Chains A and B, each alone.
Chain A
Amino acid sequence: MLLVNLVGEYLYLPNNDFNQLINYSLDQDSDIFSNLKAKHFITKNLSDPAIELLAIKYRTKKEFLSDFTSLHMFVITLRCNQNCVYCHASSKAVGKKALDMSMETALKAVDITLMSPSKYIKIEFQGGEPLLNFDTIKYIIEYANDQALLKNKKLEFVVCTNLTLATDEMLKYLVSNNILLSISLDGPGHVHDFNRHYRDGSGSYEDVIRALDKAKEYIKPENISALMTTTKYSLNFADEIVDEYIKNGFRSIFVRALNPFGYALSKMDEIGYSPSGFIDFYKRILDYIIKINQQGIYMEESFTSLLLRRMLTSFSTGFVDIQFPAGTGISGVIYNYDGNVYPADEARMLAQMGDGRFCMGNVHNNTYKELFYNNALQEIIGNTCAESLPGCSDCAFQMYCGIDPIRNYVTQGDIVGHRPTNDSCLIHKEIIKYLFEIILENDPYYMDVFWSWLTGRRLSEIKVTV
């Protein structure tokens, strides 16, 4: 029996001991009794600092909530030169400039962004392909930097791009402003090109690698990260995908499942897979990544380290897509090209498909208070607290998991969702269970690698045995 307390500490108890515990017949002189006390599952009196320690750890764990919205995503344009197989944005042709974010909208959106109480604010440029509207990017960076000085905020900018349109001039500008790049790389040529191609159907892999090599002439490798999305085709190439990341000098990979939204939804027969198909893929790719690390190459799987940080440390880890309460609006927010504000990218796509119910307002018509303090957002957040969610309130993995209400709405018809038939729930539970099996086994082959990720150190610094 695995016990987990409210700050994510765990203890494995044999069934017999567990039964004695809940029947109040556990021997108080036993090691198990002491263990349960040490991990704050039980206490004998109120002068015990257990309450104080739990309070400190709980505050720390939920610390990510105290800053309110820190991630602000800007849809710079809906236009894109690519038409990827899983695109939920149903990208628009390169010529349709009316689908760009205007300077006026950008200015209003920055003003709203900087009203966030968070001292640290991340502005993420998205699309479409944001480099198609580079002038607006520059305008936002400069205006936001000026305003941030006045308001004493620390800004970080990220451009999410396929990189194929990056010119030397753009790269020079980005590096001189210390901008981070987030590119998409789905694997080796045949995998990447299956998933990500131009509007004419031709693959983009060669152009991406060429552009990446050029970008590295300007931008420090640690300022470039990559995202991979898994399609049915990717499932057979776990090792090759990791090798491709190593080949290109990346130090982390985020193994992401498909989002069944928009355009991708209509193609699920071709690109989709069952939750168990993804879980199996995840386990294979994780095993390969561990092996690579044991060979002396630092490569982190970011989803795993997010979960491990929650399972093995006392630190706070907000993650907009997977947290309780959900990050929608209160941790991340997205400004569409037209100034409409949504609590998540998925809500924007839903609006694009005709259901605008999650729209928080528009930067031209609404104040900061109207956008962020309203019944609609309160209803969403109120329905994403694990403690009161059916299926989550009594789940042992609550402290490690999170919920995406918009995804629930899209896939299951309401923001609460139905856990027994929820794919995300299934995937998260299985992966957390798998990680627990590894943790409880405590084999240094895995654990040393995990800790090298959690502490950002090389494996050789962790191995005590020389």
Chain B
Amino acid sequence: MLTLKGTSINIDKPLLGRVSFTPAESDQSTTIIINPRLSETQLKGYAASIFSQVNADNELTTGKIPIIYNVSDINLLSAGDVVEIFPSGIINVIYQINSRHNQIFVTSKCNSHCIMCPQPIDRNERNLTEPNLRLISLMDKSTSELAFNGGEPTLIGDDFFRLILACKDLLPDTSLLLLTNGRKFSDFSYTHRYSSLLHPNITISIPLYGDNDIEHDIIVGSQGAFNETVMGILNLASFGHPIEIRTVIHKKTYKNLLRISDYLYRNMTFVNHVAFMGMETTWRAEKNLESLWIEPEEVVGPLDEAIHHLTQRDMNVSVYNIPLCLLPKHLWTFARQSISDWKNYFDPKCLICPVKNRCAGIFNSGLSLYGGYLKPVC
């Protein structure tokens, strides 16, 4: 997530608002205004104001309106972005109108415990549903894609359904991507309730790390997970939901890619898309790196085999999070620019690379690991 910092005045609790550079006709209480030409009187009624100046106007700093000033990089903000500002002067940009990677972070709670999980669990997490509902209400209707992320989004009970319904109501043209381990959907009546929400455009993205429970369950750190995930996929398919399968590639999965592909074709020909993904090396992935790390060149063979297997069978397959210079040329057509913009990184070496503009790059967290492998392609 993009984060800016400044100095705050008159802000005693976190505030959420939509960025505007021009005076708002209505909804001023949910608008964060950026406009140095407005007077204190004109700024009244807005949720807050942001300034880039190092020294804010005396008149303003001594006044009563909430302000963050001394914000560099203010030009990174666009009208329509949604930001959360804190008494500390931190500005989190939680929605970017021009990004294809916007997400609702539903919860950090999870019922799996994947060895490569990049997302720490916040034991003291407050309920995020109300802020998320407010966030949805502030998003632009033109948003084309929105991901539901976690943690495991289905663990928050009926609040999860409230979020989906809010999107259906307020963002009718936005397609949703639900990232879930699918286990909750092994309960047929739950899947039935979920389907009854009748949201017209949700793709459900579910990870699979093996073609059998022995291998999958070890990786997700939860016995019985594979069986639940498979039943969940079958239940979701029986209601006709579009399903995507994701497999993160590391030392314990790279040899399974072909068998996972065959399992999908024989048992779940209905899946719309299969994504093989490079690993984000933060949190548990970082802690367990020794047992997860695999040389990029060793991945190529098994990945190639699996992609060929799926392509032969007319199944859609993509490669996420792997830069083009680590893939043989004939696999480039499957590579996608999948890394969210705010954690996407290119090495200085990449600047002269002729295919940089269609490359996924790497996660910023992977710089020390992958930096040495990156090279401009000719």
Give A contacts to B, CB under 8 Å: 9, 29, 33-35, 37-39, 47-49, 52-53, 56-57, 313-315, 444, 447-448, 451, 454-455, 457, 462, 464-466
In the complex, the answer to whether B259 meets A48 with C-beta atoms within 8 Å is no
Q: A49-B227, A457-B314 are in contact. Are A37 and B331 (CB under 8 A)?
A: no
In the complex, the answer to whether B312 meets A448 with C-beta atoms within 8 Å is yes
In the complex, the answer to whether B267 meets A466 with C-beta atoms within 8 Å is no
- Cα–Cα, bound, A427→B215 (Å): 41
In the complex, the answer to whether A35 meets B259 with C-beta atoms within 8 Å is yes
In the complex, the answer to whether A49 meets B313 with C-beta atoms within 8 Å is no
Residue of B230, B267, B314, B330 touching A465 (CB-CB under 8 A): B330
In the complex, the answer to whether A466 meets B227 with C-beta atoms within 8 Å is no
In the complex, the answer to whether B259 meets A53 with C-beta atoms within 8 Å is no
Q: A9-B266, A451-B313, A462-B312 are in contact. Are A48 and B213 (CB under 8 A)?
A: yes
Which residues of B220-269 have CB atoms within 8 Å of chain A's CB atoms?
Answer: 224, 227, 230-231, 234, 259, 263, 265-267, 269
Q: A34-B210, A37-B212, A38-B259 are in contact. Are A314 and B311 (CB under 8 A)?
A: no
B304 within 8 A of A: yes
In the complex, the answer to whether A314 meets B213 with C-beta atoms within 8 Å is no
B214 within 8 A of A: yes
- Chain B 295-313, CB-CB to A under 8 Å as 1, else 0, gives 0000000001001100111
Interface centre among B230, B304, B307 (most CB of A within 10 A): B230
With a cutoff of 8 Å between Cβ atoms, the chain B residues found around residue A29 in the complex are: 214
In the complex, the answer to whether A53 meets B311 with C-beta atoms within 8 Å is no
**B346 CB to nearest A CB, Å:** 25
B329 within 8 A of A: yes
Jot down 24 A-B pairs with beta carbons below 8 A, ordered by A.
A9-B266, A33-B214, A34-B210, A34-B215, A35-B212, A37-B214, A38-B212, A38-B259, A38-B263, A48-B213, A53-B230, A57-B266, A57-B267, A313-B265, A314-B267, A314-B269, A315-B269, A447-B312, A451-B312, A457-B314, A464-B304, A464-B311, A464-B331, A466-B329
B211 within 8 A of A: yes
Q: With A9-B266, A57-B267, A313-B269 given, can you name 19 additional A-B contacts, CB distance below 8 Å?
A: A29-B214, A33-B214, A34-B210, A34-B215, A37-B212, A37-B214, A38-B211, A39-B266, A47-B227, A48-B227, A49-B227, A53-B230, A447-B312, A448-B312, A454-B313, A462-B311, A462-B312, A464-B331, A466-B329
With a cutoff of 8 Å between Cβ atoms, the chain B residues found around residue A315 in the complex are: 269
With a cutoff of 8 Å between Cβ atoms, the chain A residues found around residue B231 in the complex are: 49, 52
- Cα–Cα, bound, A39→B212 (Å): 9
With a cutoff of 8 Å between Cβ atoms, the chain B residues found around residue A9 in the complex are: 266
**A89 CB to nearest B CB, Å:** 41
Which residues of B133-160 have CB atoms within 8 Å of chain A's CB atoms?
Answer: none
In the complex, the answer to whether A466 meets B234 with C-beta atoms within 8 Å is no
With a cutoff of 8 Å between Cβ atoms, the chain B residues found around residue A35 in the complex are: 212, 259
In the complex, the answer to whether B308 meets A464 with C-beta atoms within 8 Å is yes
- Cα–Cα, bound, A453→B310 (Å): 15
With a cutoff of 8 Å between Cβ atoms, the chain A residues found around residue B313 in the complex are: 451, 454-455
Q: A462-B311, A462-B312 are in contact. Are A56 and B234 (CB under 8 A)?
A: yes
With a cutoff of 8 Å between Cβ atoms, the chain A residues found around residue B314 in the complex are: 451, 455, 457
With a cutoff of 8 Å between Cβ atoms, the chain B residues found around residue A313 in the complex are: 265, 269
The 3 closest A-B pairs by CB, nearest first: A38-B211, A451-B312, A455-B314
With a cutoff of 8 Å between Cβ atoms, the chain A residues found around residue B331 in the complex are: 464
**B215 CB to nearest A CB, Å:** 6
Quick one: closest A residue to B329, CB to CB?
A: A466
- Cα–Cα, bound, A83→B23 (Å): 92
Interface centre among B212, B231, B304, B307 (most CB of A within 10 A): B212
Residue of A34, A49, A314, A464 touching B230 (CB-CB under 8 A): A49
In the complex, the answer to whether A34 meets B269 with C-beta atoms within 8 Å is no
With a cutoff of 8 Å between Cβ atoms, the chain B residues found around residue A465 in the complex are: 330
- Cα–Cα, bound, A119→B193 (Å): 33
Interface centre among A53, A57, A447 (most CB of B within 10 A): A53
Q: A47-B224, A448-B312 are in contact. Are A53 and B213 (CB under 8 A)?
A: no
**B304 CB to nearest A CB, Å:** 7
**A26 CB to nearest B CB, Å:** 13
With a cutoff of 8 Å between Cβ atoms, the chain A residues found around residue B329 in the complex are: 466
With a cutoff of 8 Å between Cβ atoms, the chain A residues found around residue B330 in the complex are: 464-466
Q: A9-B266, A457-B314 are in contact. Are A52 and B214 (CB under 8 A)?
A: no
Residue of A47, A52, A462 touching B234 (CB-CB under 8 A): A52
- Cα–Cα, bound, A39→B333 (Å): 31
- Cα–Cα, bound, A448→B263 (Å): 19
- Cα–Cα, bound, A431→B312 (Å): 23
In the complex, the answer to whether A49 meets B259 with C-beta atoms within 8 Å is no
- Cα–Cα, bound, A47→B330 (Å): 42
Interface centre among B231, B312, B313, B314 (most CB of A within 10 A): B312
**B138 CB to nearest A CB, Å:** 41
With a cutoff of 8 Å between Cβ atoms, the chain B residues found around residue A34 in the complex are: 210-212, 214-215
- Cα–Cα, bound, A56→B227 (Å): 16
- Cα–Cα, bound, A34→B231 (Å): 19
**B334 CB to nearest A CB, Å:** 8
**B146 CB to nearest A CB, Å:** 31
- Cα–Cα, bound, A444→B330 (Å): 16
**A35 CB to nearest B CB, Å:** 7
**B270 CB to nearest A CB, Å:** 10
**A410 CB to nearest B CB, Å:** 38
**B246 CB to nearest A CB, Å:** 18
- Cα–Cα, bound, A49→B229 (Å): 10
With a cutoff of 8 Å between Cβ atoms, the chain B residues found around residue A38 in the complex are: 210-212, 259, 263
Which residues of B256-297 have CB atoms within 8 Å of chain A's CB atoms?
Answer: 259, 263, 265-267, 269
Residue of A37, A447, A454 touching B213 (CB-CB under 8 A): A37
**A182 CB to nearest B CB, Å:** 27
- Cα–Cα, bound, A103→B245 (Å): 57
**B319 CB to nearest A CB, Å:** 12
**A191 CB to nearest B CB, Å:** 34
Which residues of B71-91 have CB atoms within 8 Å of chain A's CB atoms?
Answer: none
- Cα–Cα, bound, A39→B260 (Å): 11
**B181 CB to nearest A CB, Å:** 15
Q: A38-B259, A457-B314 are in contact. Are A49 and B234 (CB under 8 A)?
A: yes
Quick one: closest B residue to A40, CB to CB?
A: B267
- Cα–Cα, bound, A315→B249 (Å): 30
In the complex, the answer to whether B267 meets A53 with C-beta atoms within 8 Å is yes
- Chain B 184-216, CB-CB to A under 8 Å as 1, else 0, gives 000000000000000000000000001111110
**B211 CB to nearest A CB, Å:** 4
- Cα–Cα, bound, A161→B175 (Å): 53
- Cα–Cα, bound, A264→B311 (Å): 45
Interface centre among A47, A52, A313, A464 (most CB of B within 10 A): A464
- Cα–Cα, bound, A464→B327 (Å): 13
**A296 CB to nearest B CB, Å:** 18
Interface centre among A34, A57, A454 (most CB of B within 10 A): A34
- Cα–Cα, bound, A448→B313 (Å): 9
With a cutoff of 8 Å between Cβ atoms, the chain B residues found around residue A314 in the complex are: 265-267, 269
With a cutoff of 8 Å between Cβ atoms, the chain B residues found around residue A464 in the complex are: 304, 307-308, 311, 330-331
Which residues of B339-363 have CB atoms within 8 Å of chain A's CB atoms?
Answer: none
- Cα–Cα, bound, A9→B38 (Å): 72
